[in-house]
Amino acid sequence: MFSSLKVQVSAVLSILIFLLVLQIITTRNNQATLFKGLNLSQQSLLDVNIVRELERDVANLQRNVLIYKESASQSAAIRYSRLIKDIEEKLQILEHSVLPEMHEESGLKLLSRMRQHLADYSDNFNDVKKGRTRREALFENGLLIEINALVAMLGSRDEIHNLQSLPITRIEFHLARVENDAFNYILSPELAHLEQFESQIKKIRDILSQYPAISELIPTIEGSIDQIEQNFIQLTQVTRGYLYLVNVVMTGSANEFLYLTAQLSENVALLSEQTNTVIVKNIEQTQIRNDITSLFGIVFAVGAALFLGIRIIVPINAITDVFERLIRSKKISSIPGLNRKDDIGKLAKAADVFRQNNLRTTELLTESQHLIERQEQLNLELNSAKAIAEKATQSKSIFLANMSHEIRTPMNGIIGLVELGLNENMSDKLREYLVKVSNSSQLLMTVINDILDFSKIEAGKLDIEQTDFSLDSIFNSILASTAMRAREKNLSVRLFADPSLPKKLVGDPQRICQIMLNLCTNAIKFTRNGTVFIRFWGESSGKAGAFTLHAKVKDTGIGMTDAQLVKIFHPFTQADGTTSREFGGTGLGLAIVQQLISLMNGKVTVTSTKNEGSTFTLQLKLRAFKGQPCILSQTISSPKRVYYVPESHLISREYLDTITEHCHIETLASIQKSSLAESSSQAIAVFDAKSKEHLTDLEPALEYCKAKAIKFGFITDTQPQQLAPELIKTWHTPVLTHPFTPREFSIFVDEIQGISASTDSLLPIQDQTVEHKLKGHVLLVEDNSINQAVAGEMLKSLGVTFDIAEDGQQAVTKITNSPYYDVILMDIQMPVMDGYSATKLLRELGFTTLPICGLSANAMQQDYEKANESGMNKYITKPLKRDVLANTLAQWLDFKAS
């Protein structure tokens, strides 16, 4: 732990701070001591004075006591009490002065003894006062008055009491002596006077004893003598007592008090001296201690500096040097302090790591320089390879375009001619052959289109359109294609679209159709029997106009294993190798589906169980205008009541609930019991028809409806196919066969009610476009004679007249010479002058308003762009389709009045 520099530096600093604090504390202590000492010294001087005053006071006290003893002077007594008070006050001062600072023995204890002596002294003085007073009393009353009384009594020479015979003179003499002795004793209290006194008393007693019965007054006289003696003895005792107190006890107390005072004075002086000595010593000690602390501090600081220098700064400098050298990438022979265990050691180790890293970096640099060189070489190689690859890709694209062109052109001829041929009268056998040729041609075109699409997608040349389209058209396209194929395999197809879906969406309808057709074709392809379910639903995604369209295609086909599921979206892959053998196909379909979906920011998922079927679910991010009608909704013509007999649940309840407010689900039995009549005008009945046999079961109910004049219709499944025509034939009512679009359902309902205001009819309309003939003159610029024939036949069938130019040059000449063409159909790839150049030239020549429509087997986006650039108004791909051509021409040409 101590190896850490932090700890070492902290320790050094702590010690320095400690020394500083120590110094401060010591100095403060010394100052405090000094201050206290000075105070003490000063106070001592004051106290010594007080003590001196005490001495003087005590001497005074003694003097006053002596005065009192001699004279009982009241003024002495008053002075006495004043002095006592003074002394007590002084003792009080001393008690709170320096004495507490002194040793108890030499200070407070002395004071306490002084107090004790003073108290004793006072007590004793009181006793003295008492004694002195008592002596006065005894002398005055007990002696003098008593003696006088006795003398008076004797002097009266009382004859009654027979005192005359007494030697009164002698007694009086002795009494006088007694009185004299008493006075002497008062003056000088000596035993001799007492003895004299007692001898005189004794003499009186002796005299009296010689006259025992002379008078009855004798005992009184003797008693008086006794009393005088007693009083005198008491007087001597009292005198002795207070003399003893004054001479011995009080003097002793005073002496002791003075002694203690002297002692105290000495002690205080000593304290003062000691204090001074201590102060001086303290100052000296402080000086020395400060010197030592300072010296030690300096030494320690120098030591610390050296320590820090040697231990930290020098190594840090060394390491800094090392680092600087490392930064400058200079060579490092050795790193100092690598063996140390403290932070410097860590730093040194870091430097070592740094050095090693530097070395490695240098190595790496060299290595990477080599690598860069190689990289550059590789890049060069890569560039050339890329160029080659790009060239190859370009070649491939050109090849593909060429292929496309080259295949489409003959195919165009084949398909067009077959289509035209089928319109001719021929034998059934020939017609069958031609139909097969047509189908095979269509198939071949699909394959070619797939390959082209895939190539376009791969080349990033496929664009997603953003145009508004009707969902119904999508449904129609899907069903038109799938229903036919399903019928071929006797499969059922069901389409269900959420009635709340908007009628129109914005997106790429062509590609959506392509996706759905791919999935549906696959579903039909891989399903041997059962049903293919197609379902649409969607929701607004909250953002302005954003709409998510969901679709699900579910089959009951062969299904896939999990392993197969993983790779089905890979191009050129089918679930397994056997698939293509069994089911055919390029294996591009799902790859195209997935890529198209991802181009539309959608996603596709698949779940499948082997031998049970597969489900493809997809969602597409589209847009929808707000506030538009739904694909299915109630209208004025909608029936008030619908009675539905769901024998096989062929109609979704949601469809029914959407078109009517009152939907009654009935059975064959229940429908005959319900009171249908009352609402016959606005009520319809719909029956599920399963088979011919089933019709027999339906009959009573149908008859009942007929009887009740309830209009009704049938719903049939895709299979059996013959059921629908038969129902129409038998009951003359509309029949709706699965699969159907929501719109078809709506029309069906209307038809039951007998409303056919809508132009759309479910009854097949024979070649609608044929009746719409166009009026105009067209220049067909086409080098290929077959294409010339096909296009020519189509134009003819559309009712337009046309002229042919073999190439661009010819076309320009023809137009310049005879500018009466309403539309130019311009092939792109032609000898002499291609379509682009011809168009450009024509535009340059001033034919700016002349509609020019490009024709090309090239189906690449760049072709459209090029066409646009060159000044073409429109661009259609080959093989030409009659309706596409008709629609295109209709933009510029008027319809013939029929």
Partner 1 sequence: MKLTNKNPKSIDSNRRKALKTIAKVGISAGAIVSPPYVFAKSTPTLRVLGTHVTLQEELRQQAMSDLGINISFEPRGSASVLQKASLSPYSFDLYEQWSNSINVLWRSKAIQSIDKKRLKYWDEINPLTKTGKVTPHANYGAGDAPYKILHVQPDGKLGTNHTNQISFLPYVHNVDSFGYNTDIIDKGTPYKTESWGWLLDEKFSGKVGVVNAPTIGLFDLALAAQANGLVTFANIGAMTKAELNALFKVLNNLKAQGHFSGFWTSVPESVEFMRTKRVVIESMFSPAVTQLNSQNIPVTFAAPKEGYRGWHGVMCLSAATTGKVKDIAYEYMNWWLSGWPGAFIARQGYYISNPQRSKPLLTEAEWDYWYDGKPASTPLLGTDNKTSVLQGDIRTGGSYKKRFSNVAVWNTVMPTYDYSLQKWYEFISS
From residue 59, alpha-carbon distances to 63, 117, 127, 253 in Å are 6, 14, 20, 12
Q: Which is nearer to partner 1, 65 or 304 (CB)?
A: 65
For every residue of 355-414, which 3-state class applies, written as one string?
Answer: HHHHHHHHHHHHHHHHHHHHHHHHHHHHHHHHHHHHHHHHHHHHHHHHHHHHHHHHHHHH
Site for partner 1 contains 780 (CB under 8 A): no
Residue 666 to residue 674: CA distance in whole angstroms: 9
Nearer to partner 1, 127 or 352 (CB): 127
Distance CA 154, CA 169 (A): 9
Range in contact with partner 1 (rule: CB under 8 A) among 231-239, 282-290, 309-317, 430-438: 231-239
The residue among 149 and 770 lying less far from partner 1, judged by its C-beta, is 149
Residue 635 DSSP one-character state: -
Nearest of 404, 410, 405 to residue 790 by alpha carbon: 410
* Residue number with CB closer to partner 1 (121 or 547): 121
Minimum Å distance from CB 243 to partner 1?
Answer: 5
Helices (H), 545-691: 562-567, 577-583, 589-599, 653-659, 668-673
Please give the residues from 32 up to 71 whose contact with partner 1 meets the rule CB under 8 A: 62
Q: How far apart are the first and last CA of the chain?
A: 111
SS3 assignment, position 875: strand
Residue 804 backbone dihedrals phi, psi, to 5 degrees: -120, 135
State phi, psi for 407 to the nearest 5 degrees.
-80, -40
User: Does residue 473 touch partner 1 according to CB under 8 A?
Assistant: no
Question: Quick check: 251 binds partner 1 (CB under 8 A)?
Answer: yes
Dist. CA 624–CA 507, nearest whole Å: 9
**Strand-pair partners of 497:** 536
Among 3, 92, 156, 247, binds partner 1 (CB under 8 A): 247
Residues 138-177 that bind partner 1 (CB under 8 A): 141-142, 145-146, 149, 153
Return the number of other C-beta atoms located less than 10 Å from residue 707's C-beta. Answer: 11
Which residue in the set 26, 27, 180, 234 belongs to the binding site for partner 1 (CB under 8 A)?
234
Q: How far apart (Å, rounded) are the C-alpha atoms in residues 742 and 708?
A: 29
> x-or-dash pattern for partner 1, window 483-502, by CB under 8 A?
--------------------
Residues in contact with 11: Cβ distance below 8 Å, sequence separation at least 6, in sequence order: 2
Position among 86, 88, 101, 127 found at the interface with partner 1 (CB under 8 A): 127
| Minimum CB distance to partner 1 smaller for 155 or for 584 | 155
Q: How far is the CB of 179 from partner 1 (least distance, A)?
A: 16
Q: How far is the CB of 180 from partner 1 (least distance, A)?
A: 18
Give the sign of the dihedral formed by CA 813, CA 819, CA 820, CA 822.
positive
Cα separation of 344 and 311, whole Å?
A: 9
- Give the burial string for 810-841 (b: 16+ CB within 10 Å, else e): bbbebbeeeeebbbbbbbbbbeebbbbbbbbb
Q: Nearer Cβ to partner 1, position 247 or 674?
A: 247
224 interacts with partner 1 by CB under 8 A: yes
Question: At closest approach, how far in Å is the CB of 299 from partner 1?
Answer: 48
| Length reported for the chain | 898
Please select the residue that binds partner 1; options are 124, 579, 660, 746, rule is CB under 8 A: 124
Select 160 or 897, whichever has its Cβ closest to partner 1.
160
Alpha carbon 160 to its chain's center: 140
CB-wise, 12 or 143, nearer to partner 1? 143
Shortest gap between Cβ of 82 and partner 1 (angstroms)? 22
One of 84, 87, 225, 246 touching partner 1 (CB under 8 A)? 246
Phi, psi of 326 (to 5 degrees): -65, -40
Q: How far is CA 495 from CA 223, 618, 671, in A?
A: 168, 15, 28
Please say which residue, 72 or 422, places its beta carbon nearer to partner 1.
72
| Amino acid identity at 116 | Q
Torsion angle (degrees, nearest 10) of CA 760, 766, 770, 772 = -30
Inter-CA distances, 93 with 47, 55, 100, 185, Å:
9, 15, 11, 45
CA distance linking residue 470 with residue 497, whole number of Å: 13
Nearer to partner 1, 62 or 293 (CB): 62
Does 233 bind partner 1 (CB under 8 A)? Our answer is: yes
- Residue 216 or residue 390: which is nearer to partner 1 going by CB? 216
Closest separation between CB of residue 67 and partner 1, Å? 15
Q: Which is nearer to partner 1, 235 or 795 (CB)?
A: 235
Selection from 441, 458, 618 nearest residue 522 by Cα: 618
Q: Site mask, partner 1, residues 298-337, x = CB under 8 A? A: ----------------------------------------
Binding range to partner 1, per CB under 8 A, among 117-125, 766-774, 784-792, 809-817: 117-125
Helix (H) or strand (E) holding 715: strand 711-716
Total residues at interface with partner 1 (CB under 8 A)? 51
Among 104, 190, 612, 703, binds partner 1 (CB under 8 A): 190
- Using CB under 8 A as the binding rule, the residues of this chain from 200 to 219 that contact partner 1 are 219
Tell which one of 44, 97, 215, 253 touches partner 1 (CB under 8 A).
253
In angstroms, give the least distance from the CB of 72 to partner 1: 16
Instruction: Select the span of 135-143, 289-297, 427-435, 796-804 touching partner 1 (CB under 8 A).
Output: 135-143
Please identify which residue in 9, 19, 151, 243 interacts with partner 1, judged by CB under 8 A: 243
Listed ranges 124-132, 267-275, 286-294, 443-451: which one lies at the site for partner 1 (CB under 8 A)? 124-132
Of the listed pieces 239-247, 651-659, 714-722, 800-808, which binds partner 1 according to CB under 8 A?
A: 239-247
130 near partner 1, judged by CB under 8 A: yes
Q: Whole-number minimum distance, CB 300 to partner 1, in Å?
A: 49
Q: Is residue 220 a contact residue for partner 1 (CB under 8 A)?
A: yes
Q: Which of 129, 203, 240, 289 binds partner 1 (CB under 8 A)?
A: 240
**Rounded-to-integer distance, Cα 807 and Cα 814, Å:** 11
Q: Which region among 75-83, 241-249, 634-642, 822-830 touches partner 1 (by CB under 8 A)?
A: 241-249
Name the phi and psi angles at 108, rounded to 5: -60, -35
Please identify, using beta-carbon distances, which residue of 86 and 120 lies nearer to partner 1. 120
User: Would you state the structure tokens that stand for residue 276, as one six-digit string?
Assistant: 């001074």
Report the nearest approach of partner 1 to the CB of residue 244 (Å). 6
Residue 376 interacts with partner 1 (CB under 8 A): yes or no: no
CB of 189 to partner 1, least distance (A): 5
Nearest 10 degrees: Cα torsion 101, 102, 105, 108: -50
Our finding on whether 76 is near partner 1 (CB under 8 A) is no
Which of positions 94-113 make contact with partner 1 (CB under 8 A)? 105, 113
By CB under 8 A, name the one of 25, 38, 191, 306 that touches partner 1: 191
CA distances (Å), origin 402, targets 452, 830, 858: 11, 13, 8
Give the residue with the Cβ less far from partner 1, 255 or 362. Answer: 255
Among 72, 88, 252, 892, the residue binding partner 1 under the rule CB under 8 A is 252
Are the beta carbons of 302 and 71 closer than 8 angstroms? no
| Residue corresponding to tokens 């090392």 | 322
For partner 1, the binding residues (CB under 8 A) are: 62, 105, 113, 120, 123-124, 127, 130-131, 134, 137, 141-142, 145-146, 149, 153, 189-191, 219-220, 223-224, 226-227, 230-231, 233-234, 236-249, 251-256, 259
